């Protein structure tokens, strides 16, 4: 499996220079003059998200072909064809391998659609309503039609679980897109959270999900070579939406796997808690925008990374602090997967406490700092 990570890293590293060269020719450039919230000084190519997509999709495609050719009995009748009826949902219960592989492929396909949407938005800003509508549509289709992507953590009618699942998916999708505001931040947090999710996937015996997480980590690390420190390319909305949807969908899938395996609190919440830092940034920045009478999607310099810089850190230090904070949340969540229920509850509480204590300090600093803002659709 480590070979897949290296392959994803190499493919992304090779794709970035090509994308960086082609981006200005097709208008994929982030102009610092587009808004007062822009903090870079020179026009910088977009398209890093496309390079990340190459690093994720190509190894996965190679893996599926290898499985079909070398392990045919994994697929019941010895064939893996895109026209085979058991590859469409609902799948046959007697084919768990096909179910798991198909879950991963459907998630990647849906995330790829959002990546294309983001790529179009990077070139020419699309209406916020259109972007949100496509996200809701894809999230609804995934939750409503594909087994394993509906949170059962809340009681009440089935529609409640569907609504909460769609809301979580859309929130995480936008959380990673919002995090793309400082060099290395979104890709770095994606690498940490997806690496953690991959570990949980191994614990829950969902190997295809673990492989997906592994290649995402490799692709993100390959991209970070060009994005941190000092960015020669940005991932743009294409990368943020792609990575965010993958993270949101996999966290739901793993939460449901833990529900099936353990059936007791608090294991089901661990895959969701891993994404506490991206979710914290989304909730706080939207709350601060609404408080100032701005639209939730209006670009500004009021993200948690910006607030850390305003508190006295430089940009690199701010990003590293958020890396460390994410790791402090992720480590207890991983440890809790193999702990007794009582110990697991304490570990989950400690992870959430880390975010809570950071949030108290962060909000105190935020109240002391008035931030000039120039709204623009993100």
pLDDT per residue as tens digits for the range 310-349: 888 899 999 999 999 999 999 999 999 989 999 999 999 9
Residues 90-125: pLDDT tens digits? 444 445 677 888 899 999 999 999 999 999 998 888
Give the tens place of pLDDT for each residue, 246-275: 999 999 999 999 988 887 789 999 999 999
Closest CA to 253 of 146, 351, 132: 146
Is the separation of the CB atoms in 273 and 330 below 8 Å? no
pTM of structure = 0.89
**pLDDT tens, 286-308?**
988 888 888 888 877 888 998 99
9 CB-near residues (< 8 Å, 6+ apart) = 55, 218, 219, 221, 222
CB burial class (10 A; 0-12, 13-18, 19+) of residue 365?
middle
Whole-number Å distance between alpha carbons of 336 and 339: 5
Provide CB contacts within 8 A for 240, sequence distance 6+.
49, 118, 176, 177, 178, 179, 180, 186
């Amino acid at each position: 499996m480590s070979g897949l990570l290296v392959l994803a890293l190499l493919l992304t590293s090779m794709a970035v220079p090509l994308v960086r060269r082609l981006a200005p020719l097709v208008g994929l450039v982030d102009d610092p003059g587009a808004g007062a919230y822009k903090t870079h000084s020179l026009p910088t190519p977009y398209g890093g998200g496309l390079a990340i997509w190459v690093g994720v999709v190509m190894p996965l495609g190679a893996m599926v072909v290898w499985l079909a050719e070398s392990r045919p009995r994994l697929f019941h009748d010895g064939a893996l064809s895109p026209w085979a009826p058991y590859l469409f949902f609902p799948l046959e219960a007697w084919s768990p391998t096909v179910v798991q592989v198909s879950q991963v492929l459907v998630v990647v396909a849906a995330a790829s659609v959002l990546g294309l949407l983001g790529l179009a938005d990077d070139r020419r800003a699309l209406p916020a309503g259109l972007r949100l509508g496509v996200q809701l549509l894809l999230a609804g289709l995934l939750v409503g039609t594909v087994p394993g992507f509906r949170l059962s953590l809340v009681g009440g009618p089935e529609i409640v679980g569907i609504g909460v699942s769609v809301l979580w998916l859309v929130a995480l999708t936008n959380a990673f897109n919002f995090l793309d505001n400082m060099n290395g931040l979104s890709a770095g947090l994606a690498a940490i959270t997806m690496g953690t999710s991959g570990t949980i996937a191994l614990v829950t015996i969902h190997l295809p999900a673990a492989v997906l997480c592994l290649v995402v980590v490799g692709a993100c690390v390959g991209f970070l070579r060009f994005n941190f420190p000092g960015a020669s390319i940005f991932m743009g909305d294409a990368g943020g939406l792609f990575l965010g949807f993958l993270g949101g969908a996999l966290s739901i899938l793993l939460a449901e796997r833990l529900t099936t395996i353990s059936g007791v609190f608090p294991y089901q919440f661990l895959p969701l808690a891993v994404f506490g830092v991206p979710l914290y940034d989304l909730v706080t920045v939207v709350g601060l925008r609404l408080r100032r009478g701005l639209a939730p999607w209006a670009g500004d310099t009021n993200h948690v990374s910006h607030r850390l810089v305003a508190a006295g850190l430089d940009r690199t230090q701010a990003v590293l602090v958020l890396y460390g904070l994410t790791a402090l949340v992720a480590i207890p969540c991983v440890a809790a997967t193999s702990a007794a229920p009582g110990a697991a509850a304490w570990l989950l509480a400690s992870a959430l406490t880390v975010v809570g204590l950071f949030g108290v300090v962060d909000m105190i600093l935020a109240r002391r700092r008035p931030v000039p803002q120039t709204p623009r659709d993100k």
